[in-house]
Amino acid sequence: MKKFTFTFATIILVSQFSLAIAAEPGTRQHQRHPMQQQSVTVPPLQITSEYLNQQILALTQQVQALQSQINILRSVVQVTPNGATIQAEYLTINGGKSLTLTSSKNVGVTAGDLLAINSGKDIELKSQKDLSIEAASQIKLKGTQIKLNNGTKGIALQDSPVAGGKVISGSTSVFAQ
């Protein structure tokens, strides 16, 4: 089925024409069925210049509001053929149930002061190659247990007893393989 689109002016013109034909005394009358009600005379549609001016004013105000919103978006979002930039004092991206950032090459995250990653449950960092963690100062690992390579043997601490090159009793919370 083909879709038809009519402008407001077309609808007004057709309705005016239809009403004019209906009001014409010499137009052909259809025979009424005895059970049909008598027709009601519909007054012709009166579109005044005042009404049209009010409609134009309302539409002009809507266009101005939309242009204002577009200008605000343009001040925050810059789109070029090579990419897009969103720049705002505060920016929140909410994925609802899931958020995925994907790139065929690189993803970079930079923070001027603090980069915080929080999770209500688990966090996984995986690499198909090397994983580097580097700090200009200290690296602090904290947990009820820390396992290196999924280890089960306690790591030797200062003053841990060692016999024959093996740790007799080491850490109860840091394990290695």
pLDDT tens readout for residues 49-87:
888 899 999 999 999 999 999 998 888 888 889 888 888
Longest pairwise C-alpha distance within the chain: 121
Quote the DSSP letter at residue 3.
Answer: -
> Which pLDDT tens digit goes with each residue over 130-154?
989 999 998 888 888 888 888 888 8
List phi, psi (to 5°) of 12.
-60, -45
The dihedral sign for the CA sequence 62, 67, 68, 69: positive
pTM higher than 0.75, yes or no?
Answer: no
